[in-house]
Structure 1
Amino acid sequence: MVERTPKRPVQERLSEAAFTLFEERGYDATTVDAIAERAGVGRTTFFRAFPTKEDVIFPDHGDLLARVRDRLAMASRDTLMLAVTEAARLVLLRYLDEGDLARSRYRLTSSVPALRERELISRQLYQQVFRDALRRWSPGDRGGELRADLLAAAVVTAHNHVLRRWLRGLTDEPEAEFDLAMTDVVALFADRPEQGGTSVVVLSSTSDVDTTVARVRAALTAVGGAT
């Protein structure tokens, strides 16, 4: 009995056909009809799968954004930065899983202004998701909102920095570089520990050392700091 190879999903076939034609003919010279023909389907099938020619290029951000929101929604105040890191990793892994397709998209969006603008809009969507989540855990004042905005921008910038290095073939260890980048981000925005206890300020004094020490000891004893 001959086993049949499972037929690949139409969207996958259309994406592969589109990127092949974009490489051969250029984006502007490639038509929807040509993509459909190369994929072995009709024009109507193309538009059932993708609303426009642009849509065949970009991944399903809706699904990925939902997963990012879900991960961030699981955070507590103590696990917020872990949730932010893991949510950003979800985005990175999606691109890494695409492999050569992601690299082809990068070359394309780097050379076609209209596609580059759409890529920028997608980045803004992710930044908005992180900003909304972070604002929920920030004080309701201007300083808290600014901190959330800055942290969201830093997370997306760190992710994109590592992703671009991988897309350009500058690193074979994108996940390790991502961990280092996010460590830097967390260090920049980690809450500073509250300064408790007693502060001792030493000034010049005309008293002798024994008298000064006795006065300092008495002051510390009064606040329960030492005996």
Structure 2
Amino acid sequence: MPTPTRERLVAAAFELFEAQGYDATTVDDIAARAGTGRSTFFRHFRGKEEVVLPDHEALLGRLADRLAVASPGSAGTALREAAGMVLSHYLAEGGTARARYRLSSSVPAIRDRETASVQRYVRLFSQHIHGWLDQEPDGPLRAELVASSVVIAHNHVLRRWVRGETDDPRGELDDALTLALRLLRDPAAPEEPTIVITGGVDDVDDVVRRVREALAPGKNRGRPGIAPT
């Protein structure tokens, strides 16, 4: 199956950027390498800076659709899934994502575009989180903090992955989001109870140990827990 024109242009651009440098590569060079013309390039991209970036429009649209069907009760799950969708997009790019990171580290125009795109994700998350929290104590402030924290958590893990510092980006994102999402719940609200089902265990010390494990920081905090014994 022929590779779609947009994908060929992206692949051609990165090949040329790696081979001869970003500044030395022109739109005409990219179009020629991709086997298209200049006019075809501009039907897909406004300039060579844009060909480097992910398709943020499509990705933001998918996130908006996911968040739109969430409720306050499912907010945490929705935000985890949305952040996971962004990470999955970059992981699927593989070497392209890593090449983009190298370019953004050395080309100010690309770095500026990427920085601006981050704010679009913060605004999208913020819009939906405000809808879930604004009627709660300190809700508007918490909404802003959570929106920024989710994006920061994702970007922290993404940078570690593109730099080759982690082999488990999905697991690290899950852990990072546990920290980022703490303020989804009103800190002043009472903790939910932890339910311990003993199952007929006679060893009291063993039961106590398992209760302590269930109540350990970061485990079952702020949500009902079941510690089977």
What does 1:62-101 correspond to in 2, within 5 Å?
A: 62-101=57-96
Structure 1 residues 194, 148: closer, same or farther in 2, change over 3 A? closer
**Structure-1 residue corresponding to 2:205:** none
SS at match of 1:137: helix
TM-score (norm 2): 0.79
Q: Does 1:139 align with 2:141?
A: no
What does 1:49-198 correspond to in 2, within 5 Å?
A: 49-139=44-134, 143-192=138-187, 194-195=189-190
Structure 1: 5+ residue stretches without partners: 1-5, 197-227
SS at match of 2:23: coil
Q: What is the identity, as a one-letter code, of the residue corresponding to 2:114? A: E
2:138 and 2:186 mapped to 1: Cα distance? 13
Q: Note the C-alpha offset of 1:141.
A: 8.2
Deviation per residue, 1:75-112 (Å, 9 max, x gap): 11111111111111111110001000111111111111
SS at match of 1:150: helix
Q: Note the C-alpha offset of 1:139.
A: 2.6
Q: What is the identity, as a one-letter code, of the residue corresponding to 1:161? A: H
Larger radius of gyration: 1
Pairs aligned (count): 191
Q: Note the C-alpha offset of 1:142.
A: 8.9
- The farther-off stretch of 137-146 and 52-61 is 137-146
Identity %: 53
Q: What is the identity, as a one-letter code, of the residue corresponding to 1:134? A: I
2:134 and 2:43 mapped to 1: Cα distance? 46
Structure 1 residues 195, 16: closer, same or farther in 2, change over 3 A? closer
2:17 and 2:190 mapped to 1: Cα distance? 59
Structure 1 residues 42, 139: closer, same or farther in 2, change over 3 A? closer
TM-score (norm 1): 0.79
